[in-house]
A and B are shown apart, each in its own frame.
Chain A
Amino acid sequence: QVQLQESGPGLVKPSQTLSLTCTVSGASIGSGSYYWNWIRQPAGKGLEWIGRMYVSGTTNYNPPLKSRVTISVDTSKNQFSLRVDSVTAADTAVYYCARVPSDFDAFDIWGQGTMVTVS
């Protein structure tokens, strides 16, 4: 059974960098066939797709966030990570990691989410 689990600081100061990790169990990130994504949801608002990465290193980002966001993969640890630079209160949200099979564009496995507050 494939599971994703987010981890990282729950509190980040304004102007600093938010860093989260998603640990994948039950599947190998390095095996290909999947895109690894980050999504967030501010309180009381809808879901916002942040971006995705393929194991080859190919990335796609949501344009409003592109200048501040980096998604990377560590196949040796079976993890992928999110970095958001220069955070503000607007980056306060529940952050989810999720997987998309390469043959259909839907998120088939999600993590439970982790709350990050910028304050």
Chain B
Amino acid sequence: DIQMTQSPSSVSASVGDRVTITCQASEDIGSWLAWYQHKPGSAPKLLIFTASSLHSGVPARFSGSGSGTDFTLTISGLQPEDFATYFCQQGISFPFTFGPGTKVDIK
């Protein structure tokens, strides 16, 4: 299975900050990487697919980059509604696997 790791595991930030989360795959996954936002008790939301494509309805302050094994999610100008857990997922091969998540909380 392809192992996905994320760093940091948590980050404290303020409204307006730029936050960067990294995701690393244990082998080359090309651009088959997605990012999600998850708030407790709610359905996870797709933010980015194929590493850098913004999903419909997602604010432009979210962006993704990378290819191969190293990927980044950037939130430019953190908003109050962005405090949540973010996780990555590879979609190149079965079984699909997920990163452990990065919790973004209020400083």
Residues in chain A within 8 A of chain B (CB atoms): 4, 46-49, 60, 62-63, 96, 98, 100, 104-113
**Contact assessment for A60 and B94 in the assembled complex, using a CB-CB cutoff below 8 Å:** yes
- Separation of A94 and B87 alpha carbons in the complex (Å): 16
Q: Assess whether B43 is in contact with A112, with CB atoms less than 8 Å apart.
A: yes
Contact A112 B41 (CB under 8 A): yes
A47 to B90, CA, bound (A): 12
Q: What chain B residues lie within 8 Å of A98 (beta carbons)?
A: 44
Given contacts A106-B34, A107-B44, A112-B42, contact A49 B97 (CB under 8 A): yes
A2 and B45 CA atoms in complex are apart in Å by 13
A–B pairs, 19, beta carbons within 8 Å = A46-B87, A46-B98, A46-B99, A46-B100, A46-B101, A49-B95, A49-B97, A49-B98, A62-B94, A63-B95, A100-B91, A104-B50, A104-B91, A105-B92, A106-B46, A106-B49, A106-B91, A108-B49, A110-B43
Closest Cβ neighbor of B49 among chain A residues: A106
Q: Which residues of B contact A105 (CB under 8 A)?
A: 32, 34, 91-92, 96
Contacts known (A105-B92, A112-B41); A47 close to B46, Cβ less than 8 A: no
The 10 A-B residue pairs with the shortest CB-CB distance, nearest first, are A105-B91, A106-B34, A106-B49, A47-B98, A110-B43, A62-B95, A49-B96, A46-B100, A110-B44, A112-B43
